[in-house]
Chains A and B, each alone.
Chain A
Amino acid sequence: MIVRCAGVLALGSLVLVASLVRPVTAQESAATAAILARALDAESAGRNRDAITAWRAALAAGAVVPSILGLERVFSGLAQEESLLVALDTLVPKYPREWQLRTVQLRVLTTMGLDARAAMAFAEWRDLTPAEVMPYREFARVLLFGNRAAAADTVLREASAALGSTKALVLEVAQMRAGLGLWREAAEAWRDLMVEEPYYESATVWSLMAAPAAARDAVRGVLGGPAVSLGTTQALAFLEVAWNTPRSGWMALAALPTTDTTIVLWRLFADEVERVRAWSTARDAFAAIHAARPDAGIALRGAQAALASGDAATALILARSAAPMLDEVDRNANALPIELDALARLGRAAEAEALLAGAALAIGPDGVRAHARLIAWAWIRAGDVVRAKHALVDAPLSAEDAVAGWLALFDGDLVTARGALRNTEVPGQDAVNALALLNRTPLERSEPIGAAFLALARGDSTQASRRFEAAASELPDAASLLLTLAARIETSRRNEDRSTALWRRLAAEHPQSGEAPEAHFELARGSRRRGDNQGAREHLETLILDYPRSALVPQARRELDALRTGAV
């Protein structure tokens, strides 16, 4: 349907263009339209031979421009552009001021690598219309399309000399400069262009996104400078997303005064950062839009982004602000799950349970059961395994469910945990650690391990670290991994003394373990943080020489080099 509509539109425009070449009668026009339609159909269907015949017939009927454009499309698809040259050699002298024929001629000659002939064709056109910008623009565009920025630069310089300025060619100048890697100059050209024509922001982004990291500050300086157009700010914001610094993009947009136009820009930006999963930026953008123009849908998207970024508190605020704007059905379908998830992550289990109870009548027993896992998680986060299990009484989990696996692990039931945790949908670091540990030990029960993971789930890293260390003494099979888990926790807490002690113990007591290289690596980093470069060097050398197959060796070499050259 869409294709058919497009065809009709194209046909209409082609007939219009055809009529521009020479006057036609109504009868001729109808006949030509029929031929053009046949040519378009054949081309659309991929019947190239028929399309060529039909376009030639249309050409003979006087529809010169659409026919040449059609023939160019078909021949270029067949890589037979040279077949057009004969026709162009006849038609261009006949219609010397028809710019589309001239452009096709330049395009074909350039594509075929006939640069000298292209230059002659351009010179002929330029001399015919010495005051017009068109020959320069079209030739520059053809060259830029072929990634020949330097050649385009020559044409544009010539235009500047002949016409007095390149103001009318600012788009081509911008593209040319970007093609030559003149990023600041390209940004200036795009900025100037968008003062009059702000809709070029997408072209600006596309053109400048390849700027290397070192050149980006210069581009930021130009596009983020004072008195720039809205399109320029928008381009900079989207460039920041393309450069993987979406937060900076949002900072540029957030500074704009809140108007309807700004809200539209924010919406576009929020869609983009949501698409690239820049969750914390998406959260802020959606929250700002919602604050300026309250909208439940926007608030819920912001809440989802907040959850994805790990910010349960903001997710809860946004979901709760959306809820009153929704009818009961929408509220329970869309706001309630987010609110429950946020409360579960925050360990506010009683609130979550009360919220679900309040909605129970509306969502029915099946709805309540569907949310039982979240309530169980909320109690786990709150550190109450008994109530977590209770929450699941009416919604028993299968033995293979990951939540059941976690509950079993907290109980010390390693057999059930071993089977169920494999089904974790998106395993986080805790799940990976748990599975690694469960695969390391043949034990069927271990309360110390359960207690350690429960402490971790509660967010009590001090207890978790102590319990992992204690468990190491009881489980010799997994001792090195348990010590590693304890040491990692202390390293992330920046508890230097304790982390160093744990890593040292690991390196000394378990030198043959898979975790020993990590211990030396972390000990090296710790030494370097204390200014003990010699100690750092020794640990890195031990890692490289004693554990040559470790995946950490390349990084150890890099850090050793940095120590040697004084780069740290």
Chain B
Amino acid sequence: MQYRSVGPLLLAVLLSALPARAQHLLMPMDDEQANHLKAYGVTFSALTDGLRAEWLLNFRGGSFLVPDLPSLRRAAALAGVTFEVVDADRLVQIRKEIADGNMDAVPLEKSPRIAVYTPPDAPPWDDAVTIALAYAGIPYEKIWDDDVLNTDLAQYDWIHLHHEDFTGQANKLFLGFRDAPWFLQARDRDLATARRHGLGDVPALKKAVADRLRAFVERGGFLFAMCGATETLELAMGARLIDIAGPFSDGTPMDPDADAKMDWSRTFAAQGAHLEFAAGVNAMSDIDGHQVNVPSRRQPLGTFTLFGFSAKFDPVATMLVQDHRTVISDYYGVTTSFLRKVLKPGVTVLAHEEGAPWAKYIHGSYGQGSWTYLGGHDPEDPQHNIGAPPTDLALHPNSPGYRLILNNVLFPAAKKKPLKT
């Protein structure tokens, strides 16, 4: 009886092992790994070279399996990435272990083409994703407003947004930085771009950009956003025909009925949120649970916990939470978290703070594509102030927070198969 039930499974394991007689390299992603972040880069470079890789979900922290080639051994050694040589017999054992547990092996077939939405003159340390990509050695292209409005975004598999304010209010930084040269320069640059596209002001420009990004996801793209881009993208998409920008950014007051007029059917994650009408209050809405820039509302940082998903039935969510830690210290951003009460029912919460009314990391589908939001600015700089020194990832090669970002980078490389999430 016991053999009968195991038989088909064994057969499947053996069949899957048949083409894999050659040796493989296993990059464990548990505490044995010396450099988790660069392991993503080595895997990505294998895909770029046309090789196949596998992401062993929930197996030793979400390990990577690549062919045993001298070039990959060399790349791993240079990067300081721990790897183990796996022969065919050991691979059969691993596959059986995966088949028997809450694990799965996801084939990774092609390196995704990545675009990061960032101002042309932005230093790479202004954005946790560009820091992570640069450190891991993963190539990306920079796109900005003209690129989004003029080019076909379908050429990219993955677009990342960071702390851009898509409501066009420059994160209300005018409150403290209205005379700062960099602030004035950015405002003039955005205004010139808006006029080039026949738009009257910066809020109109950013809403047009947000709409293109929404269409990118709707047509099958992957969008990952962090920090203030999450919340403001939601607001900009929902306010396509409404003035939600303060007079300091477009010369006209906010529509007093903006709250009621918001079209939440156009947003990815939020619904029924309330806009912040006070120009002097540095917040956009009540989507963010932490409100870091409003002293009287600011909530203290805690820790957030990653959810465990069924690897075989929920591979997407499982990929996004692969980590060697399940509880991670929280960190502030312009938007740090997402209040559960304003999330749409279909949103998958990937991480939350125990007992708190907010989620930290959320994911969902929209049209043919999908989006992921991660609150906060920099996983290794909890307070992150303007002008703070850049994070040096060489000092955090095992950062569990940065792994979440890189999970999103590799996720579009996974071979598509029926997904239940």
Q: Is the CB of A548 within 8 A of B77?
A: yes
Q: Is the CB of A557 within 8 A of B79?
A: yes
Cβ-defined partner of B389 (8 Å) among A180, A181, A212, A564: A212
Instruction: Indicate with 1 or 0, residue by residue over A208-219, a CB within 8 angstroms of chain B CB atoms.
Output: 000011110010
Q: Report Cα–Cα, A544/B73, bound state, in Å.
A: 12
B278 at the A interface (CB under 8 A):
no
Cβ-defined partner of B78 (8 Å) among A153, A154, A545: A545
Q: Is the CB of B394 within 8 A of A558?
A: yes
Q: Chain A residues near B387: list those with CB within 8 A.
A: 214-215, 218
Q: In chain B, what residue has the closest Cβ to A216?
A: B387
A348 at the B interface (CB under 8 A):
no
Q: Is the CB of A150 within 8 A of B80?
A: no
Q: Is the CB of B296 within 8 A of A557?
A: no
Q: Is the CB of B295 within 8 A of A560?
A: no
Q: Chain B residues near A150: list those with CB within 8 A.
A: 295-296, 298
Q: Chain B residues near A548: list those with CB within 8 A.
A: 77
A504 at the B interface (CB under 8 A):
no
Instruction: Indicate with 1 or 0, residue by residue over B281-300, a CB within 8 angstroms of chain A CB atoms.
Output: 00000000000000110100
Q: Report Cα–Cα, A448/B305, bound state, in Å.
A: 66
B388 at the A interface (CB under 8 A):
yes
B102 at the A interface (CB under 8 A):
no
The A512-553 residues at the B interface (CB cut-off 8 A) are: 541, 544-545, 548, 553
Q: Report Cα–Cα, A564/B298, bound state, in Å.
A: 40
B135 at the A interface (CB under 8 A):
yes
Q: Chain A residues near B296: list those with CB within 8 A.
A: 150, 153-154, 157
Q: Report Cα–Cα, A553/B34, bound state, in Å.
A: 13
Q: Report Cα–Cα, A544/B383, bound state, in Å.
A: 35
Would A214 and B77 be within 8 Å (CB), given that A153-B295, A180-B295, A561-B135 are in contact? Answer: no
Q: In chain A, what residue has the closest Cβ to B77?
A: A545
Instruction: Indicate with 1 or 0, residue by residue over A275-310, a CB within 8 angstroms of chain B CB atoms.
Output: 000000000000000000000000000000000000
Q: In chain A, what residue has the closest Cβ to B137?
A: A564
Cβ-defined partner of A541 (8 Å) among B78, B135, B389: B78
Instruction: Indicate with 1 or 0, residue by residue over B385-398, a CB within 8 angstroms of chain A CB atoms.
Output: 10111000010000
Q: Is the CB of B295 within 8 A of A214?
A: no
Would A181 and B295 be within 8 Å (CB), given that A541-B78, A544-B78, A557-B394 are in contact? Answer: no
B90 at the A interface (CB under 8 A):
no
Q: Is the CB of B74 within 8 A of A545?
A: yes
B134 at the A interface (CB under 8 A):
yes
Q: Chain A residues near B137: list those with CB within 8 A.
A: 564
Q: Report Cα–Cα, A544/B75, bound state, in Å.
A: 11
Q: Is the CB of A215 within 8 A of B74?
A: no
Specify which of A153, A553, A557, A558 lies most central, judged by the most chain B CB atoms within 10 Å of its CB: A557
Would A557 and B385 be within 8 Å (CB), given that A150-B296, A157-B296, A180-B295 are in contact? Answer: no
Q: Report Cα–Cα, A545/B394, bound state, in Å.
A: 18
Determine how close the nearest CB of chain A comes to the CB of B280; give it in whole angstroms: 11
Q: Report Cα–Cα, A541/B394, bound state, in Å.
A: 17
A27 at the B interface (CB under 8 A):
no
Q: Chain B residues near A560: list those with CB within 8 A.
A: 78
Q: In chain A, what residue has the closest Cβ to B80?
A: A557
Cβ-defined partner of A154 (8 Å) among B74, B80, B295: B295
Determine how close the nearest CB of chain A comes to the CB of B4; give it in whole angstroms: 49
A565 at the B interface (CB under 8 A):
yes
Q: Is the CB of B295 within 8 A of A557?
A: no
Q: Chain B residues near A565: list those with CB within 8 A.
A: 124, 134
Q: Chain A residues near B77: list those with CB within 8 A.
A: 544-545, 548
Q: In chain B, what residue has the closest Cβ to A541?
A: B78
Q: Chain A residues near B79: list those with CB within 8 A.
A: 557
Determine how close the nearest CB of chain B comes to the CB of A46; give it in whole angstroms: 35
Would A212 and B388 be within 8 Å (CB), given that A541-B78, A557-B394 are in contact? Answer: yes
Instruction: Indicate with 1 or 0, residue by residue over A150-171, a CB within 8 angstroms of chain B CB atoms.
Output: 1001100100000000000000
Q: In chain B, what residue has the closest Cβ to A214?
A: B387
Q: Report Cα–Cα, A212/B383, bound state, in Å.
A: 11
Q: Chain A residues near B74: list those with CB within 8 A.
A: 545
Determine how close the nearest CB of chain A comes to the CB of B388; give it in whole angstroms: 5
Determine how close the nearest CB of chain B comes to the CB of A243; give it in whole angstroms: 13
Q: Is the CB of A214 within 8 A of B388?
A: yes
Q: Chain B residues near A218: list those with CB within 8 A.
A: 387
Determine how close the nearest CB of chain B comes to the CB of A449; give it in whole angstroms: 38
Q: In chain B, what residue has the closest Cβ to A155?
A: B296
Q: Report Cα–Cα, A558/B80, bound state, in Å.
A: 11
Determine how close the nearest CB of chain A comes to the CB of B367; give it in whole angstroms: 35
Q: Report Cα–Cα, A554/B38, bound state, in Å.
A: 13
Q: Chain B residues near A557: list those with CB within 8 A.
A: 78-80, 394
Q: Chain A residues near B80: list those with CB within 8 A.
A: 544, 553-554, 557
Q: Is the CB of A212 within 8 A of B385?
A: yes
Q: Is the CB of B78 within 8 A of A215?
A: no
Q: Chain B residues near A180: list those with CB within 8 A.
A: 295
Q: Chain A residues near B385: list those with CB within 8 A.
A: 181, 212, 214-215
The A411-463 residues at the B interface (CB cut-off 8 A) are: none
Q: Is the CB of B389 within 8 A of A214?
A: yes
Q: In chain A, what residue has the closest Cβ to B393?
A: A561
Q: Chain B residues near A212: list those with CB within 8 A.
A: 385, 388-389
Q: Report Cα–Cα, A310/B41, bound state, in Å.
A: 47
The B63-83 residues at the A interface (CB cut-off 8 A) are: 74, 77-80
Q: Chain A residues near B135: list those with CB within 8 A.
A: 561
Determine how close the nearest CB of chain B comes to the CB of A548; give it in whole angstroms: 7
Specify which of B295, B296, B394 lies most central, judged by the most chain A CB atoms within 10 Å of its CB: B295
Q: Report Cα–Cα, A385/B295, bound state, in Å.
A: 72
Q: Report Cα–Cα, A541/B76, bound state, in Å.
A: 12
Q: Report Cα–Cα, A180/B385, bound state, in Å.
A: 10
Instruction: Indicate with 1 or 0, residue by residue over A181-213, a CB within 8 angstroms of chain B CB atoms.
Output: 100000000000000000000000000000011
Q: In chain A, what residue has the closest Cβ to B299?
A: A150
Q: Chain A residues near B388: list those with CB within 8 A.
A: 212, 214-215
Q: Report Cα–Cα, A418/B60, bound state, in Å.
A: 52
Determine how close the nearest CB of chain B comes to the CB of A183; give it in whole angstroms: 8
Determine how close the nearest CB of chain A comes to the CB of B103; give it in whole angstroms: 31
The B116-160 residues at the A interface (CB cut-off 8 A) are: 124, 134-135, 137
Between A and B, 17 residue pairs with Cβ closer than 8 Å are A150-B296, A150-B298, A153-B295, A157-B296, A181-B385, A212-B385, A212-B389, A214-B387, A214-B389, A218-B387, A544-B78, A545-B74, A553-B80, A558-B394, A561-B394, A565-B124, A565-B134
Q: Which 9 A-B pairs have the closest CB atoms?
A: A153-B295, A214-B387, A154-B296, A150-B295, A150-B298, A214-B389, A558-B394, A214-B388, A565-B134
A residues adjacent to B (C-beta < 8 A): 150, 153-154, 157, 180-181, 212-215, 218, 541, 544-545, 548, 553-554, 557-558, 560-561, 564-565
Known: A213-B389, A541-B78. 5 other contacts (CB 8 A): A150-B298, A154-B295, A214-B388, A218-B387, A553-B80
